[in-house]
């Protein structure tokens, strides 16, 4: 039946040897439309209802833009219940479901309704805010219809696609369009960072987490974001590629508690026309390395500052999000081939994907009540901490991971690197605890914040 649909649409996509390019030959072919495709794929798309219970405070200063920050956390405690509605896609017969992180984030209760009106309790087994993806497991599910993941690297601009989801909570809805762009990395509203498939198939609130499928019924992406000034679809939607979804499913089934990304240990910038000329390149393409951590797998593979990376496994990369995406879908423990250009000469070099090393030991501590800043959390800087807190590759010493209630009021922020306390140099987390246990009548903290020196002084 799918073959008939391909013939009717005159397409040759994933299986050019099997598809015949011609116009519809009969009224039955014309009237067929997408009905067989929807009938096969729609049962694998579900509605997700998430309940979120938050703790708030009734404060007389809640509406005051000045005093509300000073009196945050004060007032009468009150629980608030928020409900979230979205879509999801079943990927296995035993109830593995993928959706967006922002659909189920911090949910205390999740119910999933299938196309045939059955309902299941669900729990989140793996979620990642940056990728805006979450993997759910349906409780007691078996023999469920599910979709097959397609290799999203083979998706081409111009392919016909269908978006299936539950926009505005009106019930399952299907919209059609084409793939209108690839390697989109910005300009959209909503959650998630990185690399997207762009489509003009209408996507609206509630479609989040739904399926973007091709004319074979295979999943090529998870609908995630829209570009909109009004909050509704303006014909530009973004889907997370299926290859990244596959990596999430793999890690979830392996029992990972948080999503693990390979570590590059490098900084770089896209090559523009001026930079291409200075580097002796014929075209402005790739990423030029501007900084390398000594423990970076690229440094160990022979890369150096000034090298240009143009491809990963034969696929072009022209921005940092593209390269991060390519490394992520390769997976930790695997090897990818990077095309390096040095002195105008390209060379393919294999680099093994590794997690950010947690060496030297981070030595994380949280200060107790006997210090002047209880609740302050700090860690010794290493590659894992640099990645988690988003610090420069050259950062050293001790960083604030959580300023705590009192530290935040004092002006401390996550990511501040502590240089000294009362003019005593800080190199280990124990130095912070010692300096803040009995600092005297005055407290002076010298910090590095976004590369700028900051000095804070308090009277105790």
- 195 pLDDT band, cuts 50/70/90, is confident
Mean pLDDT over the full length of the chain = 86
Question: Taking the CB of residue 311, how many other CB atoms lie within 10 A of it?
Answer: 18
- The number of angstroms, rounded, from the C-alpha of 398 to the middle of its chain's C-alpha atoms is 27
The answer to whether residue 387 scores a pLDDT higher than 90 is yes
Instruction: Give the mean pLDDT of 112-137.
Output: 94
Q: Does an H or E element contain 347, and which?
A: strand 345-352
Q: What separation in angstroms does the CA of 132 have from each of 27, 206, 339? A: 43, 15, 29
The answer to whether residue 411 scores a pLDDT higher than 50 is yes
Q: pLDDT tens digit string along 338-361?
A: 999 999 899 999 999 999 999 999
- 33 pLDDT band, cuts 50/70/90, is confident
Residues near 86 by beta carbon (within 8 Å), at least 6 away in sequence:
47, 48, 50, 99, 100, 102, 103, 104, 165, 166, 206, 208, 209, 210
Closest CA to 205 of 241, 165, 161: 165
Residue 87 class from Cβ within 10 Å (0-12 exposed, 13-18 middle, 19+ buried)?
Answer: buried
Span 365-459: which CATH code? 2.30.42.10
Instruction: Give the mean pLDDT of 438-457.
Output: 92
CATH superfamily of 266-352: PDZ domain (2.30.42.10)
Q: pLDDT tens digit string along 230-271?
A: 555 566 889 999 999 999 999 999 999 999 999 999 999 999
As given in the structure block, the two tokens for residue 1 are 């039946």
The answer to whether residue 389 scores a pLDDT higher than 80 is yes
Span 45-138: which CATH code? 2.40.10.10
The answer to whether residue 41 scores a pLDDT higher than 60 is yes
The pLDDT score that the predictor gives to residue 429 is 97
Residue 57 class from Cβ within 10 Å (0-12 exposed, 13-18 middle, 19+ buried)?
Answer: middle
* The domain over range 152-253 is classified in CATH as 2.40.10.10: yes
Q: pLDDT tens digit string along 331-340?
A: 999 999 999 9
- 436 pLDDT band, cuts 50/70/90, is very high
Instruction: Give whichever of 34-43, 200-209, 349-358 has the largest mean pLDDT.
Output: 349-358
Q: Would you list the DSSP string of 411-453?
A: T--TT-EEEEETTEE--SHHHHHHHHHS--SEEEEEEEETTEE
The pLDDT score that the predictor gives to residue 457 is 92
As given in the structure block, the two tokens for residue 92 are 């296995």
Rounded to an integer, what distance in angstroms lies between the CA atom of residue 213 and that of residue 2?
Answer: 13
- 184 pLDDT band, cuts 50/70/90, is confident
Ranges of each domain in the chain: 2-33, 45-138, 152-253, 266-352, 365-459
Instruction: Give the mean pLDDT of 97-107.
Output: 92
Give the number of residues written for the chain: 460
Rounded to an integer, what distance in angstroms lies between the CA atom of residue 398 and that of residue 389?
Answer: 12
Query: Whole-prediction pTM value?
Result: 0.82
The answer to whether residue 297 scores a pLDDT higher than 90 is yes
The pLDDT score that the predictor gives to residue 78 is 62
Judge contact between 115 and 43, C-beta under 8 A. yes
- The number of angstroms, rounded, from the C-alpha of 43 to the middle of its chain's C-alpha atoms is 27
Closest CA to 209 of 236, 234, 239: 239
Q: pLDDT tens digit string along 269-283?
A: 999 999 998 888 888
- 12 pLDDT band, cuts 50/70/90, is very low
The pLDDT score that the predictor gives to residue 193 is 53
The answer to whether residue 161 scores a pLDDT higher than 90 is yes
State the catalytic residues: 102, 132, 208
Closest CA to 392 of 402, 383, 401, 400: 383
Residue 415 class from Cβ within 10 Å (0-12 exposed, 13-18 middle, 19+ buried)?
Answer: middle
Q: pLDDT tens digit string along 62-86?
A: 555 555 555 555 555 666 666 768 8
Rounded to an integer, what distance in angstroms lies between the CA atom of residue 177 and that of residue 191?
Answer: 22
The pLDDT score that the predictor gives to residue 332 is 96
Instruction: Give the mean pLDDT of 226-232.
Output: 61
Judge contact between 235 and 70, C-beta under 8 A. no
The answer to whether residue 60 scores a pLDDT higher than 70 is no
**Percentage of residues in the chain having pLDDT higher than 90:** 67
The pLDDT score that the predictor gives to residue 56 is 55
Q: Does an H or E element contain 237, and which?
A: strand 237-241
Say whether 365-459 and 45-138 share the same fold: no
């Amino acid at each position: 039946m799918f073959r008939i649909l391909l013939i009717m649409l005159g397409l040759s996509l994933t299986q050019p040897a099997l598809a015949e390019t011609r116009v519809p030959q009969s009224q039955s072919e014309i009237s067929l439309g997408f009905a067989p495709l929807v009938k096969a794929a729609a049962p694998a798309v579900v509605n997700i209802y998430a309940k979120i219970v938050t703790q708030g405070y009734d404060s007389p200063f809640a509406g005051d833009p000045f005093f509300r920050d000073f009196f945050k956390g004060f007032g009468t405690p009150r629980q608030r219940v928020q409900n979230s509605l979205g879509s999801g896609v079943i990927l296995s017969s035993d109830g593995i479901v993928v959706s967006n992180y922002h659909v189920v984030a911090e949910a205390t209760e999740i119910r999933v309704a299938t196309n045939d009106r059955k309902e299941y309790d669900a729990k989140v087994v793996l979620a990642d805010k940056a990728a805006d993806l979450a993997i759910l497991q349906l409780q007691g599910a078996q023999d469920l219809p599910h979709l097959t993941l397609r290799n999203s690297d083979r998706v081409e601009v111009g392919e016909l696609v269908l978006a299936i989801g539950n926009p505005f909570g009106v019930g399952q809805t299907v919209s059609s369009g084409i793939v209108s762009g690839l390697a989109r990395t910005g300009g959209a509203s909503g959650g998630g960072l990185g690399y997207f498939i762009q489509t003009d198939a209408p996507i609206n609130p509630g479609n989040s987490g739904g399926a973007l499928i091709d004319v074979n019924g295979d999943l090529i992406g998870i609908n995630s974001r829209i570009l909109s000034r009004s909050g509704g679809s303006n014909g530009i939607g973004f889907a997370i590629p299926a290859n990244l979804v596959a990596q999430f499913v793999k890690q979830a089934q392996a029992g990972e508690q948080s999503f693990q990304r390979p570590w590059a240990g490098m900084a770089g910038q896209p090559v523009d026309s001026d930079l291409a000329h200075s580097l002796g390149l014929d075209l402005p393409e790739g990423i030029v390395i501007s900084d390398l951590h000594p423990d970076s797998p690229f440094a160990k593979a022979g890369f150096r500052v000034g090298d240009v990376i143009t491809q990963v496994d034969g696929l072009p990369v022209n921005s940092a999000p593209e390269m991060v995406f390519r490394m992520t879908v390769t997976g930790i423990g695997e090897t990818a081939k990077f095309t390096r250009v040095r002195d105008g000469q390209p060379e393919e070099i294999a680099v093994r994907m590794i997690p950010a090393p947690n060496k030297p030991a981070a030595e994380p501590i949280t200060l107790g009540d006997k210090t002047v800043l209880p609740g302050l959390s700090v860690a010794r800087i290493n590659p894992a901490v640099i990645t988690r807190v988003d610090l420069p590759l050259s950062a050293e010493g001790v960083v604030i991971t959580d300023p705590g209630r009192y530290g935040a009021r004092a002006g401390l922020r996550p990511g501040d690197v502590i240089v000294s306390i009362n003019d005593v140099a800080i190199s280990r987390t124990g130095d912070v605890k010692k300096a803040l246990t009995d600092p005297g009548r005055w407290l002076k903290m010298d910090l590095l914040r976004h590369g700028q020196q900051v000095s804070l002084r308090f009277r105790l």
